[in-house]
Amino acid sequence: MNKDFILSAIEEKFPEVISSILEPHGLLTLEIPVANIKPLIQFLKEDEKTNFIFLTDICGVHYPGKGDKEFAVVYHLHNLEANFRLRLKTFVGRENMHVPSMMDIYSGANWMERETFDFYGILFDGHSNLKRILNVEDMTYFPMRKEYPLEDGTRTDKDDRFFGRDGNDNVTFDDKKALARDNG
């Protein structure tokens, strides 16, 4: 099994579906539109010629400012018998963040998709239990998006000057210490 075999097998069933073919560091990477991703993955798993029975990982990536291609969902598949790995990417924009869920094809996709939802807010249609998995349930934002900071914004006991930031310019160092003391 090699790259040409997979590409011709996909081309036979799903003509003109692949938007881009790359092979970064030896791993075949295909870009597929959202409408075709689920039938394609189902075909790749169930067909004996391709036989990608193992879903290695699903994750999300955020490319801010790219319009319709702002959020990527990346699937890593693995054919264990032929030892061939495949990476599929699909892109969605901020307005329409719906991607079909792979839960009925691979049971392992359950938590992987919940994690992607938790971090980026990508909605997986057909998922039985799409709620936050790692963060607190009542969190209002999706933390892995590039616009949100890493640190907790509500800390009062850190002096931003020592960290090279200049937030809170009008609060002096002594005021902040007093704030920290009062808040315990």
Residues that bind another protein (CB under 8 A): 24-25, 27, 29, 53-57, 59, 61-62, 74, 76, 80, 83, 85, 87, 106-108, 110-112, 115, 119, 132-136, 143-144, 148-153, 155, 157, 184
> Quick one: which of 142, 58, 62 has its CA closest to 132?
142
Query: Of the two residues 49 and 155, which places its CB atom closer to another protein in the complex?
Result: 155
CB within 8 Å of 165: residues ≥ 6 apart:
none
> Quick one: which of 83, 88, 109 has its CA closest to 44?
88
Min CB(116)–another protein separation in Å: 10
Min CB(151)–another protein separation in Å: 5
Angle at alpha carbon of residue 77, lines to 111 and 3, rounded to 5°: 165
Min CB(175)–another protein separation in Å: 19
Min CB(100)–another protein separation in Å: 18
Query: Of the two residues 105 and 123, which places its CB atom closer to another protein in the complex?
Result: 105
> Quick one: which of 90, 65, 69, 87 has its CA closest to 77?
87
Query: Strand ranges (DSSP E) for 37-128?
Result: 54-62, 71-79, 84-92, 98-100, 123-125
Query: Of the two residues 15 and 26, which places its CB atom closer to another protein in the complex?
Result: 26
Query: Of the two residues 83 and 170, which places its CB atom closer to another protein in the complex?
Result: 83
